[in-house]
Amino acid sequence: MLVTYGSTRTRNWPNVPILPEVGIDVVANSTYGIAGPKGMDEAVVKVLHDAFKKGMEEPSFVALLRQLEQEPTYLSTDDYRAYIARDLIDQKRIVDELGLKQE
């Protein structure tokens, strides 16, 4: 294996560099999240948030992610919203740098 494309080296291959370490400024993590319509009732948001957070803490879920070379990462509602906003900017930069376009 030459490189991996996450933001950190993997647990199973700690000696394999990530793309930024070899001069390629691309990171592609597998993120999971849930979103609802704008203006969703905050009480409903809290119920969904709490249920998904509890599910993320289940040992079977954590074990599955680790099998897939992923680490469980929790973000609050506001932090996830900010993460997605930054990620959209990063993904647009990559598309622009590669000269990709939608037809």
Assess if residue 103 is contained within a domain: no
Is residue 91 one of the residues assigned to a domain? Answer: yes
Q: What is the pLDDT of residue 25?
A: 84
d(CA 6, CA 26): 9
Q: Give pLDDT, residue 33.
A: 84
Residue 60 is predicted with a pLDDT of 96
For residue 78, the model assigns a pLDDT of 87
Tell me which residue of 29, 32, 11 sits closest to 20, measured CA to CA: 29
The answer to whether position 20 is within a domain reads yes
pLDDT at res. 74:
87
In a domain, 42, yes or no: yes
Residues 65 and 91 in one domain: yes
Cβ atoms of residues 29 and 6 within 8 Å? yes
Identify the pLDDT of residue 40: 94
Q: How far apart are CA 103 and CA 80, in angstroms?
A: 30
Q: What residue numbers bound the domain in which 39 lies? A: 34-98
Task: Identify the pLDDT of residue 77.
Answer: 85
Return per-residue pLDDT of the chain as tens, 103 residues. Answer: 999 988 888 888 899 999 999 999 888 877 788 888 999 999 999 999 999 999 999 999 999 988 887 877 888 888 988 988 998 898 888 888 888 877 7
Model confidence pTM above 0.75: no
